[in-house]
Structure 1
Amino acid sequence: MKKSILFIVIFLSIASSLQLLNYKYYIDKKEQYIKSRVNLMQEHYDVTYQTFKTNSIHFYNSIINNSKLISILNDANNQDLSIRNKARTKLAKIFKSKYQLVDNLGIDLIHFHLKNNESFFRRENPEKYGDDLTSVRYSVAQVNKTKKPIEGLEIGKHSHAFRFVYPLFDENKQHIGSLEGSVTADSFIKFMEHALRIHTHFIINKNKLDLNNHKLLEKYTYANGFENYLRLKNTIKTTIKHSKEEKDQIKKKLKNIDTTVTKSFSITVDKNDKEEIIIFIPIQNIKKEKTIAYFIVFDENNDLELILNDYTQQKSIALFISLLVAFLIFRLLASKQNLEIRVNKKTKELKDLNENLLTTVESKTKELQDSLNIISKYVIYSKTDLNGIITEVSDAFCEVTKYSKDELIGKTHSMLKHPDIPSKIYKELWSTIVSGKIWTGDILNKNKDGENYWISTAISKKYDNKGVAQGYIAIRHNITSKKQFEEQHESLMRAEKLASMGEMIGNIAHQWRQPLSVISTASTGIKMQKTFGTLSDNQLLKDCDLINTNAQYLSATIDDFRNFIKGDRTKKVFNLKDSIHSLIHIIDSTIKNNHINLILDLKEDITIDGYSNELTQCLINIFNNAKDILKEKNIDNRLVFISTSIENNKAIIKIKDNAGGIPNKIINHIFEPYFTTKHKAQGTGLGLHMTYNLIVDGMKGTIEATNKTYTYKSEEYMGAEFIITLNK
């Protein structure tokens, strides 16, 4: 009974520890994935907004560069009503024909205002003009007052829209009014849904609307879960269907969320036995002083189910390992107890030795037999003749192979051979033992039931008293659990690299935004200038060169990232400086986003005979550690130094920061597996351990970490310094 309780206690202790670690890893992985989806949707929103802004700038430039239009708008300020009406008629005629191409830019509303904030011409409603916009349109009044452009979400008397308002001047630089290009929320959502194949809602604070304007309120409906928000009806053609239980989930989770936040956030709800991510992108008013609306993205096609399935599988593996380890520990404790009993027995036998020699001899004979039985039970061994025919096996050998002694004796070990083990291994084994040497190694075998098991083996010749070879003896140790643990460890290491790759993908996406925006701006500019006949050859060549330069930058980014992820472990000679510059190219957006000042001191013509991708992975791990601690300690002047040199014909790479160093009590443990300096929810403890293995085992180099105080630009700093030493 006590033994059963002991076994249960051991099993529960190991199982609970492994399951806790597995659950924390699952939660961390899930949160990281959701965060990446939120960031992705925020970036797509930003790109969409920037696209419409760029298009409005092109439209504005086409207006101010058209002297005929400026002349017409100048007449709009004439005191003579007939001249003003003629100017409006001319403007309407122009926009009815030539400027219909503006629709291709996605601009829904075009509105000209006089400098006294009076509406002069609405392209969508030419018959409506002359109304004073001072009190209802902050953007118009502000632009005419400051003579500076303004942009953002603004609510008017009849609708809301993303408005881009610019001041207008005549050829004498005299202010003559303002121009507005607006994009409705409906167009904004259609653009995002077409690009991402997602479902999106747009909701707005009802307190910002004129609740007495029933014609305006007819355009909206109640926004589920947001008591003070309304949803624009015509923005959604395919509405997300939620059951009552799902709606209750949304309401419950939104109660604890501050809807005045200015950063994107998300919640998850259970939908059709799957988790749905609902992402909220806040939108401020045109004054940039408060949040008045949200884009809501319903992310149904996500990978949360795959993450959950992986977690479930890992739970089963952890349970099996817990059971196996608990059994081994229990057996070890039981063996220890048996040995203690035998020690006490031997003591008594020695005490009685003088009383009865014959009894003592018989007792020792029995003891020897018992010892042989113990060896047979717990030691996996076998004996063969010189031809490899089995002559003797232990009970432990029968237990692991699941064959009886009768089934084994007279046969060869080939009956246990696993088909995946190459024949050359066995040829090498026989060549070694025939020559009289001892062969050692790990071999995968298959037992009688077809199950695989790993054994660590030592085989040597056995001789008689005259030194004549009689056969061979093999001592084995079952290492199946060790191999299974190593496979799980390798799986976690691969997961760590995949996490790094996920972060790199975020970096690449961020780096592409600027060149894509430049390419879009240049190409749209060419089209507009061609339309209005203002495109010169020099401008065309200049814009084409700009597009080509940014396209080459995108191509170089792809090449660097492809080289990093392809996992090519071919040993080759590579230039250390070029490898580090490729690394910087990959993490460039991370450096900029985290306001890190990267200082390089790279020597020319240092070459390494090794694995470039593995070195890049190591440098990324070390850089990410430095980045995280700099952010955690909220250091303003964030410094990271990378230098290379040659010492004693070896390549030296040094990476240091100014984050204050590593605590002395843990600095000697940072390369150990599952040891992390971060919060448990933020790190797996495998990054630096993987770095150590790649450098020491993979590239036969060394890596060490120390705390260092140094001076930079007359300021004294302290931080961690990692030193990597590699053979050239």
Structure 2
Amino acid sequence: MLNQEQITADIAYQSTVNNQQFLTIFENALETNNQQKRDLLRAELYTLFSDKYKELLKRGVLQYHFVFPDNTVFLRFHKVSKYGDNLTNIRSDFKYVNETKKVIRGFAQGRTAHAFRNVYPIFNKDKKHLGAIEISFSSEYLQDNFTNVANIHTHFLVCKSIFDAKAWKRDHLVVQYSQSIEHDKYMISMPKSHTKDEYHVLVEQKVKGIKSIIKQKVSKGKPFAIYNIDNSINDSADVISFLPIHNNINKEILAWIVSYEKDDFIKVTINNTNYIRIILFIGLLILFYFIYKTLNQKQKLEEAVNIKTAELKDLNENLEQKIIIEVAKSKEIETKLFQSDKMVSMGEMIGNIAHQWRQPLSAISTGATGIIAKKEYGILTDEALLEACGNINKHAQYLSQTIDDFRNYIKGDREKKVFSLKNDIDSFLHLIEGSSKKEVIEIIVDIDEEIAIDGYPNELVQCFINIYNNAKDAFHEQEIGLKYIFITSEIIDNEIKIYIKDNAGGIDENIIHKIFEPYFTTKHKMQGTGLGLHMTYTLIVEGMNGNIEVHNRTYDYNQTIYTGAEFIITLPR
């Protein structure tokens, strides 16, 4: 969205400085010392660009502002009556542009408003420096774009330290401020979309109980997101994201963009986790009860022996039936846990897909806006139009492919068919693209594109995801810098070999032979069920008549020695 504003500002700047009448007026105003003549020239410039300024206002422009090389204001279109003041000690961006003759962009606070500012140098046809021009956008325009394009509710918080303690109470401010509920050292800019009372009602409940966490994370100066359960809405949580805005020169944090989004999956996951905890707690109570009963009955050993003998006799008589029942129960529990693991994986994937979509959606919006702006200013060419439309179509196809891959994954059709290994790996890569980018994991694929497999494509994708998640967790535990996952394949006799290896340091040799066992996990009990790799083993061995094994490998890549785990999947050709 900031790119979209930049395009609008650049087009407005070019159309301004390419106007010879403007350059003549501005240069004459700079060279004259006659105040009456300068006032006439100011009125002439205002008349020249008044219609242009009205159009810029429709595009979110807050300030259209002209200053001389010494940073003295010649004309403010947003406040025509205010001119002649020197901004050297107030606006470091004007000072920077007039000294360096270079463009600067970024967030800055002025006398009457904060804004995302684009400040450009002005030269006449002989390259003489005449001053600077500012084309800035309000934070409210950015917030409106978030709401209209992505349906995200946002707040804009401005640090109190960038203007004096009473500044936000002055009536002449372009933007009005109120104390932020999220953080006591910030003020919220009050847009026209909601009043101060509406803001308090909306935010007070959403940040209840997490203000101290917000304050702690804001102090670190890095983007972050947290969630808060909204108990007034069933199965709903608020995801609150904070993005810092830096000064365009010294990079000091001056403001934060805060977004609020609803997420139904978080509360459902927490509830399911609580249910599992309750079940485990009840199971432990029952176990302790039986241990107590056993210990309490030691003095009655002879009677207990007789009872156990009778129970054993009964067990022997009904052993086969009980084994069948217990095996069926075990299978049912294991199936439910498989589904639970898959639902957790799907939840992560939904979040990653939402993250993946933001960039193409922004690119589509920017491309369309660029076409409209160039058309209105008469600078749109056929080549530019075709290129922009091509880019829009490319990003739309990307969104469509993401929907198809995720739909095929969650359908879970267990239909045996001949499918392309390359297509299956492409679907897997598409599904985990958001996660791999977020975790900065480079996946290097070198496979035989002609390999076809007779089996279950969705289940093989699930196996790839389980192995990827195992590597991702290992990267976190080992704090690896450059993270790699290599996927290769080959055909040996009548078998297809798929190799997946990482550089996460490998698996402890004391436990590597256990990792395919059910409920075995190297993670904390609250972080994993131990079924991911067991599920992979079951799907490959029992579902596709194949085999899977794992070894630690040390190898060379780009003249660097790495060590990691290598999974080898063998399938019949």
Change (3 A) 1:484 1:239: farther
Letter in 1 for 2:107: L
Which of 168, 173, 189 is the matching residue for 1:232?
Answer: 189
Unaligned runs of 5+ in 1: 1-50, 344-369, 382-455, 457-474
Local SS of the residue matching 1:654 = strand
Note the 1:137-536 alignment, pairs <5 A. 137-171=91-125, 174-194=128-148, 200-211=154-165, 213=167, 214-215=169-170, 219-224=176-181, 226-234=183-191, 236-237=194-195, 238-241=198-201, 249-250=209-210, 259-266=219-226, 268=228, 278-287=240-249, 289-298=251-260, 302-315=264-277, 317-318=279-280, 341=305, 377-378=314-315, 476-477=321-322, 480=325, 482-536=327-381
Q: Would the aligned equivalents of 1:63 and 1:69 in 2 still touch at CA under 8 Å? A: no
> Is the partner of 2:56 in helix, strand or coil?
helix
Amino acid at match of 1:229: Y
Residue in 1 that maps onto 2:387: 542
Q: Distance in 1 between matches of 2:138 and 2:532?
A: 47
Task: Say if 1:692 and 1:84 are closer, same or farther in 2 by CA, change over 3 A.
Answer: farther
Name the counterpart of 1:72: 22
Tell me the residue number matched to 1:111.
Answer: 65
Match of 2:75 in 1: 121
Provide the secondary structure at the position in 1 that maps to 2:27.
coil
Superposition TM-score, scaled by structure 1 size:
0.67
Over 3 Å counting, the alpha-carbon distance change for 1:270 and 1:602 in structure 2 is closer
For residue 583 of structure 1, what is the amino acid of its counterpart?
F
- Paired residue for 2:4, among 23, 29, 54? 54
Residues 631 and 112 of structure 1: CA distance in aligned 2, closer, same or farther (over 3 Å): farther
Residue 197 of structure 1, CA deviation? 5.5
Structure 1 window deviating more from structure 2 (634-643 vs 276-285): it is 276-285
Matches of 1:246 and 1:544, distance apart in 2: 41
Q: Which amino acid aligns with 2:64?
A: I
State the one-letter code of the partner of 1:77.
Answer: E
Q: Summarize the Cα distance change of 1:595–1:173 in structure 2 as closer, same or farther, 3 Å threshold.
A: farther
Deviations 1:630-683 (A, max 9, x none): 344333333321111001211100011222211111211222233333455544
TM-score, normalising length: structure 2 = 0.84
8 Å CA contact retained: 2:441, 2:483 = yes
Shift of 1:722: 0.8
Alignment of 1:130 onto 2:87: no
- How far apart are residue 690 of structure 1 and its match? 1.9
Q: How far apart in 1 are the matches of 2:216 and 2:52?
A: 53
Give secondary structure in 2 for the equivalent of 1:503: helix
Indicate if the aligned counterparts of 1:62 and 1:528 stay in contact, CA closer than 8 A: no
Pair 1:616 & 2:464 matched: no
Q: Give 1:250 deviation, angstroms.
A: 5.0
Contact 1:74 1:176 in 2 (8 A): no
Q: Percent of pairs identical after alignment? A: 38
**Residue 479 (structure 2) pairs with residue 634 (structure 1):** yes
Structure 2 vs 1, CA of residues 284 and 492 (structure 1 numbering), >3 Å: closer, same or farther?
Answer: farther
Q: Aligned with 1:97: secondary structure?
A: helix
1:85-100 equivalences in 2 (<5 Å): 88-100=42-54
Deviations along 1:261-312, one digit per CA (max 9) or x if unpaired, are 2222436477659876554443333335333333344556655543344344
Distance 1:507 1:298 in 2: 17
2:486/2:501 contact within 8 Å kept: yes
| Root mean square deviation, CA, Å | 3.9
Separation of aligned partners in 1, 2:5 and 2:454: 51
Shift of residue 700 of structure 1? 1.7
The residue type equivalent to 1:239 in the other structure is Y
| Contact 2:206 2:228 (C-alpha < 8 Å) held by counterparts | no
Counterpart residue number, 1:561: 406
Secondary structure, counterpart of 1:664 in structure 2: coil
Return closer, same or farther for 1:304/1:650 CA change in 2, 3 Å cut-off: closer
For the structure 1 residues 101 and 482, does the alpha-carbon distance in structure 2 shift closer, same or farther, using more than 3 Å as the test? farther
Matched residues in 2 for 1:94 and 1:252: separation?
53
Question: Which residue in the other structure is 1:687 paired with?
Answer: 532
- The answer on 1:601 being equivalent to 2:446 is yes
Note if 1:717 corresponds to 2:566: no
- 1: CA distance, partners of 2:382 / 2:63: 32
Provide Cα deviations, 1:8-40, integer angstroms capped at 9, x if missing partner. xxxxxxxxxxxxxxxxxxxxxxxxxxxxxxxxx
User: In structure 2, which of residues 512, 515, 529 is the aligned counterpart of residue 667 of structure 1?
Assistant: 512
Q: Counterpart amino acid of 2:483?
A: R
Contact 1:63 1:70 in 2 (8 A): no
CA drift at 1:724: 0.5
Contact in 2 for aligned 1:88/1:121 (Cα 8 Å): yes
| Pair 543,124 (structure 1): closer, same or farther in 2 beyond 3 Å | same
Distance 1:682 1:70, change over 3 A: farther
C-alpha distance in 2 between matches for 1:263 and 1:150 = 23
* Residue in structure 1 matching 2:492, options 640, 647, 658: 647
With over 3 angstroms needed to count, the CA separation of the structure-2 counterparts of 1:684 and 1:273, relative to structure 1, is: same
1:572 partner letter:
K
Kindly tell me: are residues 488 and 141 of structure 1, through their superposed partners in 2, closer, same or farther at Cα, counting changes over 3 Å? farther
Cα deviation digits, residues 530-566 of structure 1 (max 9, x gap): 2122222333223222322332233233323332232
2:177 corresponds to which letter in structure 1? Answer: Y
Measure how far apart 1:97 and its partner are.
2.3
Q: What secondary structure, in the 3-state scheme, does the structure 1 residue paired with 2:19 have?
A: helix
Separation in 1, partners of 2:499, 2:205: 57
The gaps in structure 2 that reach 5 residues or longer are none
Larger CA deviation: 92-101 vs 518-527: 92-101
Tell me if structure 2 keeps the 8 A contact 1:148–1:167: yes
- Cα distance in 2 for partners of 1:64, 1:243 equals 42
3-state SS of 1:239 partner: helix
Q: Which moved more, 1:606-615 or 1:100-109?
A: 100-109
Q: Deviations over 1:501-529 (max 9, x none)?
A: 23333433333344333322322122112
Contact 2:53/2:64 (8 A) holds in 1: no
Shift of 1:245: 10
